[in-house]
Structure 1
Amino acid sequence: MEKHISEIIDISGLNLLLEKYTVLTHMGTAVLDLEGKVLIATGWQDICTKFHRINKDTCKNCVESDTSLANNIKSGMPFNMYKCLNGMTDVAFPIKINNEQVGTFFIGQFLSEKPDLDFFKKQAHKYGFDEEKYLKALSNVPVISDEDVKKSMDFLSQLTLLIGEMGLVGLQLIENELLKAKEIAEKSEIFLNNIINSMGDPVFVKDDQSRLLIVNDAFCKIFDLGRSDIIGKTLAEDVTPEERESFLRIDKQVLIDGKENINEELLTVRDGQSRTISTRKTRFSDNNGNKFLVGSIRDISDLKGAEEALQAKIKDLNGFFSVVLDLLCIADTDGNFRLLNPAWEKTLGYTMEELMAKPFLDFTHPDDLQPTLDVVSKLASQEAVICFVNRYRCKDGTYRWLEWQSAPSGKLIYAAARDITDRKLMEEKLNKYVIDLKRSNEELEQFAYVASHDLQEPLRMVSSFTQLLEQKYSDKLDTDAHDFIHFAVDGANRMQMLINDLLEFSRVTTRGKEFIKLDTSSVLGQAINNLHAKITETCAIVTSDDLPFVVGDESQLIRLFQNLIDNAIKFRSEGTSIIHISCHSEAGYHQFSVKDNGIGIAPQYFERIFQIFQRLHTKVQYPGTGVGLAICKRIIERHNGKIWLESEVGKGTTFYFTINK
């Protein structure tokens, strides 16, 4: 029987029962296993334990008694009673379960009749015992008659059978528990296998020789092997020598020191492809102290590829990051720089360590501190900020103007800043120029006022009084005097015309009206109407195509057409003056043309004629002030257009100008 008697019988309970039996009968009892190990011992007599068992010669008698008892039990007797050479009587009962002896029950160390004192005195003398003590120990030995012994044997035989039956019940209980435990273990194993097979990563258990004991489906798949090809093996022949050495070395290390190991390794699978894997190995021990290795494998080849691609991207970005002239940074909403590009060092003069050591607000101009805090608050609320400007302190104590574009991402701020200090200086200069220009315009306005009132009044007086002088003293003046008076009046009139034209030229930009949507055909009609007398007088022919709508200053565009048509009539050839206005559209603008068949203009004068007071002919040949085309150019420039001409002497001129759509 595989089970020991102590595993199937309640030894402590039986010991308590036999102690009570000893108290009632004064007989000693014992229960021994098949190897002779004493499991229970009650009421053993001093004559045996203190004399017979400790003397070499009398102990031989005890051993002989034990041997005789055991031999007779094995022969199939229900019990065996034997009187030993030392004069004591012992009885042995076999304890059987399913007819198989599992132990021996003993009673003994009693006398079947009154002791023969002479025998025991001689024995004390023979073996050197203290007679008085020996006989005193003998007096404690119970004397049990044969009849009482027989009754006891019947009782004890039944007790032994009862002990056997108790053991049988215990054995059945144990077997039932074992059966249940086996069933639970089988279910647990199935459950465990289902768990590990449901795991996507390969999982394995190895013994202390790196032999595989448990693997899941994913493990079989990665090696392309069946379980029968894996269990009990190290797979040393299924990997390269280098991989085998690495696997076994790490296995041994974990089994020795018990520390968890996480490692990246190469695994060459059966198709010859190498995969990058991450292995996780740890040690555990069972109740018997056996060491095992449990681990998992994760194929990280795709992850490693993605990491390498990411690192390449980061390398490219870092290269770009380092050469960009603008100031790039990653900061957080707590006010700290996280990453800066080299442009910061070049622009502000600090080292990278100095910049990273302080909050970015420490570099901000005091006047810009609150606006900067407001911007950081917006970014913390995940609101992008475009075109924010503040000043940053340089290491030399000066400040540089920075124009920012920033975008938030959680607690991080991604920002780019451009040094606009030079632009700011230019803007300051430009503002100064604007102020100067405004003052100049104001002075020009003042001059225009003076020209239109104060200067013209003396001219009118000169002209008027000169004409009165001619009328009153006409009969007293000779021919030369009359000519001088005409020269004076003509000069005054021409001066007045010049002042008026100059005044109009200055007011193109200072007195211009708001741009509105205009029908160019209507504008042209007004200009023609203003020239009606001259057109009729010279029999000129003015025609036009359909003209578009434009946005502009109506009075100035009327003046533009009027000056160009007037010029065409003034510089006409001997035949009938024919003038045609047309337009065609281009991307973003309209291009107008005013074509005539007049005397034409030589190419070398194409630019000069647009300058103020520039004339190509004498005032006798063609009267005028030389301001008309200069006014046209200024009107077109105010409308953000261009004006130019094409001409051939004797064949006519075409003026072109553009107005944005």
Structure 2
Amino acid sequence: MIVPALSLVVDSAALPPARSAPSLPAMSRLVQAVRDLAAARDLERIVEIVRHAARELVDADGATFVLRDAGQCFYVDEDAIEPLWRGQRFPLQACISGWAMLNGEQVVIPDIYLDDRIPHVAYRPTFVRSLVMTPIRTAEPVGSIGTYWADEHEATPAERELLLALADSTSVAMESIRLLDELEGRVAERTRELEVTNRDLAAFAHVAAHDLKAPLATISGYAELIADMEAASLSAEGASALGAVRRQATRMADLIDAVLAYSTATTTALELGVVDLGEVTGSVLRDLEELIVARGAEVEVGELPSLHGSAALLERVVQNLVVNAINYGDSDAPLVKVDGKVLEGAVRFTISDNGRGVAPEEREAIFDMFMRGRAGSLQQGSGIGLAFARRVVARHGGTLTVSTAEGGGACFTLELPDSSAPPG
């Protein structure tokens, strides 16, 4: 038996209309708005972006940005062919933007005069005939975006989707601003707390230094007095013990000075100016002449640039690093090399030695207070100089690191902003 083929005739008029997609220009405009919102850093910028984008996305005659302010709708700003309600406030229950926020739903009204949710008296002086009101966030909306047409117009599904996407992006941007403001507030509060703490620590350091150095001065004074008056009658053991007292008193005084310098490195006001690193290094080497001669050290100084900073603090940094290089250089013939280089936007300043160097695992630890590394255990010192140096360099907006010098040894590298870019 032959079965005839079935045929199906469909009346196209009986099919539901195809779901329209946003046009390419509209999608491009939405993408641009999303990018702009992602870069916005305050509410004013968000409002500016949204009021223009909302109107352009759906070819509307007007758009408003409405915020929920307690029990009111605040019409923050608008972009329209004629004035609407910029700067005005209305009760949530008295306007369609409030209805959209209270219900968390997008509202589409082709003819405002056929919808009893519209306060017709408020709309008659305006050009508005049709509208779409889109809440910003469906869960607990924080505002809404109003778009208006002068003629009767029923927003298409594509137009509604564009406005919903814009509202979602607006919600994310507003939340980002809120979190950013909260974070900045916390940072500002933490900064204030740290400033108070630093001032308190600096004040304590000054008091402690005074209280500690006073008895030390007495000890040193009596030790010198005994050495002068009783030198002939002291036994060898007594003279040795007295010498130890004097050395330890001097070491203690130096340690107190180092702690005081470290504690005030971030609180002392920076007196900024152009600093010639060549002059600074020359001054340091003159002050260290006795140490250089005693250790038989050789210091090679290359061409050194200038930069913007505190001459007094940077001179102490250079002195600490040069002393460090002399003490940790080769025990028989210490060689210190000081060099500089101008980079793009920065100055690089290096001080290297010919000693044992710093082990990779210790290259961060040696910048901590009282941390001197394995090589440091063989040398005298406070263990504070490198911590002080890094703290000062950080205040200048720079970095201080250590690596292996060419041919061995340690190379300390400072990178600081150049004279054309002073620290803020």
Name the TM tier (shorter chain): 0.5 to 0.7
Which of 311, 314, 337 pairs up with 2:26? 314
CA deviation profile, 1:594-614 (whole Å, cap 9, x unmatched): 222234333332222211111
1:335 counterpart = 2:85:
yes
1:435 counterpart = 2:192:
yes
CA deviation profile, 1:526-576 (whole Å, cap 9, x unmatched): 222222222233343222222222111111221222221111111232443
- Cα distance in structure 2, aligned partners of 1:322 and 1:616: 53
Which of 490, 497, 502 pairs up with 2:247? 490
Contact 2:329–2:336 at 8 Å: present in 1 too?
A: no
Q: Determine helix, strand or coil for the equivalent of 2:190.
A: helix
- Cα distance in structure 1, aligned partners of 2:195 and 2:118: 46
Gaps of 5+ in 2: 1-19, 41-45, 52-62, 65-77, 88-96, 110-116, 120-135, 144-165, 419-424
- Cα distance in structure 2, aligned partners of 1:550 and 1:322: 43
Partner of 2:60: none
- Cα distance in structure 1, aligned partners of 2:262 and 2:184: 29
The alpha-carbon distance between structure 1 residues 578 and 316, as it changes in their structure 2 partners (threshold 3 A), is closer
CA deviation profile, 1:21-75 (whole Å, cap 9, x unmatched): xxxxxxxxxxxxxxxxxxxxxxxxxxxxxxxxxxxxxxxxxxxxxxxxxxxxxxx
Contact 2:356–2:375 at 8 Å: present in 1 too?
A: no
Q: Which residues of 2 match residues 239-638 of structure 1 at below 5 A?
A: 311-318=23-30, 328-329=50-51, 330-331=63-64, 332=78, 334-335=84-85, 351=104, 418-419=174-175, 420-469=177-226, 480-616=237-373, 621-638=378-395
TM-score, with length taken from structure 1:
0.39
The alpha-carbon distance between structure 1 residues 312 and 604, as it changes in their structure 2 partners (threshold 3 A), is closer
Q: How much does 1:320 deviate?
A: 6.8
The alpha-carbon distance between structure 1 residues 473 and 558, as it changes in their structure 2 partners (threshold 3 A), is closer
Partner of 1:656: 413
Q: How much does 1:435 deviate?
A: 1.9
CA deviation profile, 1:601-659 (whole Å, cap 9, x unmatched): 33332222211111246989422111111121112111211122223799322211101
Partner of 2:7: none
Contact 2:352–2:405 at 8 Å: present in 1 too?
A: no
Query: What number of residue pairs does the alignment pair up?
Result: 300
Provide the alpha-carbon RMSD of the alignment.
Answer: 4.3
- Cα distance in structure 2, aligned partners of 1:446 and 1:492: 23
By percentage of residues, which structure has more strand?
Answer: 1
Contact 2:104–2:138 at 8 Å: present in 1 too?
A: no
Contact 2:104–2:137 at 8 Å: present in 1 too?
A: no
Residue identity opposite 2:29 in structure 1:
L
Q: How much does 1:433 deviate?
A: 1.1
Which fold has the larger relative contact order, with Cα–Cα distance below 8 Å and residues 6 or more apart in sequence?
2
Q: Determine helix, strand or coil for the equivalent of 1:421.
A: helix
The alpha-carbon distance between structure 1 residues 474 and 606, as it changes in their structure 2 partners (threshold 3 A), is same
CA deviation profile, 1:4-33 (whole Å, cap 9, x unmatched): xxxxxxxxxxxxxxxxxxxxxxxxxxxxxx
- Cα distance in structure 2, aligned partners of 1:353 and 1:599: 73
Partner of 2:399: 642
Q: Determine helix, strand or coil for the equivalent of 2:358.
A: coil
CA deviation profile, 1:298-339 (whole Å, cap 9, x unmatched): xxxxxxxxxx999431254357768976763342254359xx
The alpha-carbon distance between structure 1 residues 358 and 434, as it changes in their structure 2 partners (threshold 3 A), is farther
The alpha-carbon distance between structure 1 residues 395 and 562, as it changes in their structure 2 partners (threshold 3 A), is same
Residue identity opposite 2:368 in structure 1:
Q
Percent sequence identity over aligned pairs: 25
- Cα distance in structure 2, aligned partners of 1:310 and 1:355: 17
- Cα distance in structure 2, aligned partners of 1:477 and 1:355: 106
The alpha-carbon distance between structure 1 residues 358 and 639, as it changes in their structure 2 partners (threshold 3 A), is farther
Q: Determine helix, strand or coil for the equivalent of 2:266.
A: helix
TM-score, with length taken from structure 2:
0.59
Residue identity opposite 2:397 in structure 1:
N
Contact 1:336–1:358 at 8 Å: present in 2 too?
A: no
Q: Determine helix, strand or coil for the equivalent of 1:643.
A: strand
Residue identity opposite 2:25 in structure 1:
K
Q: Which residues of 2 match residues 89-168 of structure 1 at below 5 A?
A: none
- Cα distance in structure 1, aligned partners of 2:359 and 2:34: 59
Partner of 1:143: none
Q: Which residues of 2 match residues 189-204 of structure 1 at below 5 A?
A: none
Gaps of 5+ in 1: 1-307, 338-343, 360-391, 401-413
- Cα distance in structure 2, aligned partners of 1:647 and 1:605: 12
- Which has more radius of gyration? 1
Q: How much does 1:450 deviate?
A: 0.9
Q: Determine helix, strand or coil for the equivalent of 1:491.
A: helix
Partner of 1:21: none
Residue identity opposite 1:586 in structure 2:
L
Q: How much does 1:440 deviate?
A: 0.9
Contact 1:540–1:577 at 8 Å: present in 2 too?
A: yes
- Cα distance in structure 1, aligned partners of 2:404 and 2:382: 22
